[in-house]
A and B are shown apart, each in its own frame.
Chain A
Amino acid sequence: MKTDNDQRVAGRGLRQSMSGLHTWAGLLLGWLLYAMFLTGTVSYFKEELSQWMRPELPRLAQLPDPAVVAQRVADEIGMLAPGTAQWSLRLPDTRNNAVNAFWRTSARGPGQRGFEEARFDPVTGHKVVSRDTLGGEVFYRFHFQFYYMPVVWGRWLAGIAAMFMLVAIVAGVITHKKIFTDFFTFRWGRGQRSWLDAHNALSVFGLPFHIMITYTGLVTLMALYMPWGERAAFKTPAERQQLAAELSAFSQPGKPSGDKLPLASVEEMVRQAQARWGRDNVGRVNANNPGDATARIAVTRGDDARVSMSPQYMEFDGATGKLLAVHDGVGAAAETRGVLYALHLGRFSDVTTRWLYFLVSLMGTAMVGTGLVMWTVKRRAKLADPARPHLGFRLVERLNIASIAGLSIAMTAFLWGNRLLPLTLENRAYAEIDLFFTVWALTLLHALLRPAKAAWVEQLWAAAALLALLPVLNALTTQRPLWHSLATGDWVFAGVDLMCWALAALHGVLALRTARHGVGFGRTTRPRNAEPRSDDRGAAAAAATGEAAR
C-alpha cells in the first residue's frame, strides 16, 4: 500500500492523492473519532441524562425564583465552607433540577488547589443526597479527555483526532468532485456503491455541521494546543490575567484583607442581573473571598438567547452589595472565540434546536461509522482469499465491530450499571465508569473470537436488547416508570425511556439487515465493469475512491 502511494501522488493527480489522504487520515483515528462523535452527540442531553441517572432528585415542575435560590444556597455554602477563598454556584434552569456548586478547600499539599463540589436542592437550599454518580458528565468528559490517562494527554489525543477529522473532511470534499449534483443519488443494494452513496449523503447533508463541530472542537481547547502566541506575548501574570478576563468570568481571588465582613444580599445582586437579562437567564454566581472586606461577587448571564460563551457578568462589591462594573463585551477575536465555543456546546439552544443538534450529530457519527465499514467493504472484494483475509484487514474489521456495535453495548451497560450497582459501593461513580470500559473490552474480545458477520449480528442484537429493556429496568428499580413520567409530563425521564426504544429499534433493524446481507459481505464482488456505463457518476466515484483501495 505504502510503496505505490507515492507514485500515485506523483502520477494521478489531486483527487487521487486526496482520496488516499481521506482514507488513511479517516481510518487511523476513525475508531476514536466514532467514539468521540457518539459520546459528544449524547452529551447534547448531558443535563437530562444526569437527571435520569440521579432518580432520587425530584423533578422541578416549576422553576423557583433564581434570586431566592441563590441566596439560599449562598447561605448554605457559607455554613458548610466558612472561610473558603472562592465558591461558585450554577442556578437551576429548565434542564437542571439541582444547584451545582463548588468551592475551594485549603490546599492539600504545596502547589495543589483543592475543590469540593455538591448539589443543592433549590427549594430547601440543603445539600441533596443521591446515588454516587458522575451522570452525563461521564460521556461528556470521555468525549474530549478519555479516561485512565492524564487529562492533558487525553485532551491532546482528542485534539489530534480532531485535526485528522478536519483534514479528512477537507480531503473528502476535494475528492468528491460532483458533490452537489450527486446530492440525491442513492443506489440501493449495490454493495460497495451503496455504502459509498450512504457515506456521501451523511457527509454532505451535514457538511456545514461537521466542519463547524470539528473546528470549534479544536477552538474549545486551543489555549492548550497552541500556547506559543500567548507565551511570546505575555511575560507577567498580570498580562496573562488580561487575556483570562477576555475568556471567562472567573478570576483568581486576591489576597484577603483579614477584616471580616458578612456578605451583602446575594438575592439583591441577582435581582439586578435579572432586570438586565431576564428572570431565568442568570447563569452563575461566583464569589471571591466571601466574608472578607475584599469580597467580590460576579453574577453571569445565562446561556439563553445568545450564541456566545464570552463572559458577560455584573461585578459587585461583596461586602456592600454595590455594583462595581458591568462586563458586557470583549474584543472582536475573543467574541469570535466565544461564538465558536458556544456553537460547539450548543447550550443556548431551545428544545427543538437541541434535537436538531442531536440528529445532525448522530448523522456525523453514522458518517464516521459508514466510512470505517467502507474501508473493509472495498477491500473485501479484492482479497486474494476472502476466507482467510490478511492480518490488517482482520484487525480493522474486528475493531470496527467493537468500536461501533460494541460502544452501543458499553454505553447502555453503563446506564444499566447506574441502576444496578449497589448504592453503598465504595467509589461507586468510578465503578460505573469501570463497568463501561470492562463491557467495551469484552465486546472487543467477542469480536476477535467470533466470525465477523456473527459478531456484528450478535452485538447489534445485544445492544438492541439492552436498550429495549432499560426502560423496564428503570420501572423496576425507581419510582419513576414510563407510565408515571408520561402521566406527570416528566419529559426528561419519558424522553430517555422513549429514546432507548427508538435506538433499540435502530439497532434491531441494523441487526436484521446485517444478518440478511452482511456488512458488505454479499454483493461487493460484483465486478466493476458490470456497472452501467451510462452511470457517469459511477466511473467518477470509482476513479476517485476506488483507487484508495489498492
Chain B
Amino acid sequence: MMHAVAQALCLIGFAALALATRRPQHEIIGRSLPRGPVSTLRLAGAAALLIALAVLVEGKDWGLGLVAFSGHTTLAAAIVYGALIGYVQAVARRARS
C-alpha cells in the first residue's frame, strides 16, 4: 500500500516536472508555457516527490526509505518518459493516417 502511494506520487511528480520542460510542452500543447505555470508545475512536482519521500521514510525509516525512494523515483521517471514517447508516437501515427 505504502509502495503504491509512493509510486503514484512519484508518477504525478515526474509528470508535472516533465510538463515544466520545453520539449514535452511543444509535443503536447504545441507551444511553450509561460513562466508562471512552469514554476507552479515545478513546485507541484517537487512537492509530490517530497511527499513520496516522507511516506516512505515514515513507513520504513530513513535507510530503507531512501533506498525505496530512489527505486520509486527511477521507475516513475522511466514510466513518464515511456508514456511521453508513446504519446508522441500515437499523435504522429494519427497525423499520418
Residues in A lying within 8 Å of B, measured CB to CB: 181-186, 188, 201, 205-206, 208-209, 212, 305-308, 339, 343, 346, 348-349, 352-353, 356-357, 359-360, 363
Chain B residue at minimal CB-CB distance from A348:
B64
Nearest-Cβ distance from residue B39 to partner chain A, whole angstroms: 14
Chain B 71-83: CB-based contact to A (< 8 A → 1; otherwise 0): 1101101101100
* Interface contact B63-A359, CB-CB below 8 Å: no
Distance of A181 Cα from B63 Cα, bound (Å): 29
Number of B residues with CB within 8 Å of any CB on chain A: 26
Distance of A306 Cα from B65 Cα, bound (Å): 11
**A308 contacts which chain B residues (CB < 8 A)?**
63
* Interface contact B80-A184, CB-CB below 8 Å: yes
* Interface contact B71-A356, CB-CB below 8 Å: yes
* Interface contact A353-B77, CB-CB below 8 Å: no
Distance of A343 Cα from B72 Cα, bound (Å): 16
* Interface contact B74-A339, CB-CB below 8 Å: no
Given A353-B68, A353-B71, output 7 extra A-B contacts at Cβ < 8 Å. Answer: A183-B77, A184-B18, A184-B24, A208-B74, A307-B67, A348-B64, A356-B75
**B89 contacts which chain A residues (CB < 8 A)?**
188
A201, A209, A339, A353 pick with most chain B CB within 10 angstroms: A353
Distance of A206 Cα from B76 Cα, bound (Å): 11
Distance of A154 Cα from B44 Cα, bound (Å): 48
* Interface contact B21-A183, CB-CB below 8 Å: yes
* Interface contact B67-A205, CB-CB below 8 Å: no
Nearest-Cβ distance from residue A208 to partner chain B, whole angstroms: 5
Chain B 17-36: CB-based contact to A (< 8 A → 1; otherwise 0): 11001111000000000000
**A206 contacts which chain B residues (CB < 8 A)?**
74
* Interface contact A208-B21, CB-CB below 8 Å: no
Q: Does B40 contact A (CB under 8 A)?
A: no
Residues in B lying within 8 Å of A, measured CB to CB: 3, 17-18, 21-24, 61, 63-64, 67-68, 70-72, 74-75, 77-78, 80-81, 84-85, 88-89, 92
Beyond A205-B74, A205-B77, A307-B64, whether A183 also contacts B18 by CB under 8 A is yes
Main SS class of interface, B:
helix
* Interface contact A185-B23, CB-CB below 8 Å: yes
Distance of A348 Cα from B3 Cα, bound (Å): 16
**A182 contacts which chain B residues (CB < 8 A)?**
21
* Interface contact A186-B85, CB-CB below 8 Å: yes
Chain B residue at minimal CB-CB distance from A208:
B70
Q: Which of A186, A348, A359 contacts B75 (CB 8 A)?
A: A359
Q: List 16 A-B contacts (CB under 8 A).
A: A183-B17, A183-B77, A184-B17, A184-B18, A184-B23, A184-B24, A184-B80, A188-B85, A209-B70, A212-B70, A348-B64, A353-B68, A356-B68, A359-B75, A360-B70, A360-B75
Nearest-Cβ distance from residue A539 to partner chain B, whole angstroms: 14
* Interface contact B72-A307, CB-CB below 8 Å: no
Distance of A209 Cα from B78 Cα, bound (Å): 14
Distance of A417 Cα from B63 Cα, bound (Å): 40
B75, B80, B81 pick with most chain A CB within 10 angstroms: B81
* Interface contact A363-B21, CB-CB below 8 Å: no
Distance of A183 Cα from B3 Cα, bound (Å): 24
Q: Which of B18, B63, B71 contacts A360 (CB 8 A)?
A: B71
Beyond A184-B21, A205-B74, whether A353 also contacts B67 by CB under 8 A is yes
* Interface contact A343-B67, CB-CB below 8 Å: yes
A184, A348, A359 pick with most chain B CB within 10 angstroms: A184
B3, B72, B74 pick with most chain A CB within 10 angstroms: B74
